[in-house]
Amino acid sequence: MCISALLVGPWSDHLVLVLGLLFLLCDRDDGADQNVTCPYEVRVRRNTVLKARPLNPLTMKCQVQHCGDPPHVTWCKIMDPLNCRAMIENENINIHQKELPANEVMSFMTFNKLSMDDQGQYRCKLSGSEEAIVSHAITVNVSESNVGYDYSGNNTGKNTIKSKNIDGCF
């Protein structure tokens, strides 16, 4: 019996389905010879709130998982939903990163002396990727009544928020 005779009749749909499944199973590839893409991840705990007093130092951190060469991480202050102002190192702000084991980098942004103007929300961004990968927002509360730091949040949050670049924001 030839295959063309099987494709005509009540079982033709079932035969096509079975042959398609067999093809998929036989053509299976374990990916060993392919370049497997590695996802970049920016990790900042969701709902992080840092509380500090004016004129005190404050350090924010942002952990990044990468796939080889350490990426450059930048920071910004959220001005409104469409505008995140880039933070630039100066006499009051230090930005640096440290390589960690297992293809990770920790980026730090430190205010040497906080002012009331530093209150707001901040994000870190993984630079150099095709799409912008940004962290959850870190809220900084500056008040005379703040004592110490309060790290709150509801998860350890792997965060891979991806967005297209818009002028002035991530």
Q: Do residues 55 and 46 make contact, with C-beta atoms less than 8 angstroms apart?
A: no
Residue 1 falls inside a structural domain: no
- Per-residue confidence (pLDDT) for residue 102, from 0 to 100: 82
Residue 103 falls inside a structural domain: yes
Low-confidence stretches of the chain (pLDDT < 50) are 21-34, 149, 153-170
Task: Give 77-101 pLDDT, tens digit per residue.
Answer: 999 988 999 999 999 999 999 988 8
- Per-residue confidence (pLDDT) for residue 116, from 0 to 100: 95
Residue 23 falls inside a structural domain: no
Residue 93 falls inside a structural domain: yes
Residue 35 falls inside a structural domain: no
CATH number at residue 82: 2.60.40.10
Residue 11 falls inside a structural domain: no
Q: Do residues 42 and 135 make contact, with C-beta atoms less than 8 angstroms apart?
A: yes
- Per-residue confidence (pLDDT) for residue 169, from 0 to 100: 39
Query: Count of domains in the chain?
Result: 1
State the DSSP code for 169.
B
- Per-residue confidence (pLDDT) for residue 69, from 0 to 100: 77
Cα separation, 147 vs 5, whole angstroms: 83
User: What is the extent of the structural domain holding 86?
Assistant: 41-159
Cα separation, 45 vs 3, whole angstroms: 59
**Phi and psi at residue 30, to the nearest 5°:** -80, 0
Angstrom CA distances, 85 to 45, 107, 122, 123, stand at 21, 18, 9, 10
Residue 10 falls inside a structural domain: no
Q: How many CA atoms within 13 Å lie on the side-chain side of 44?
A: 27
Cα separation, 77 vs 3, whole angstroms: 66
- Per-residue confidence (pLDDT) for residue 85, from 0 to 100: 95
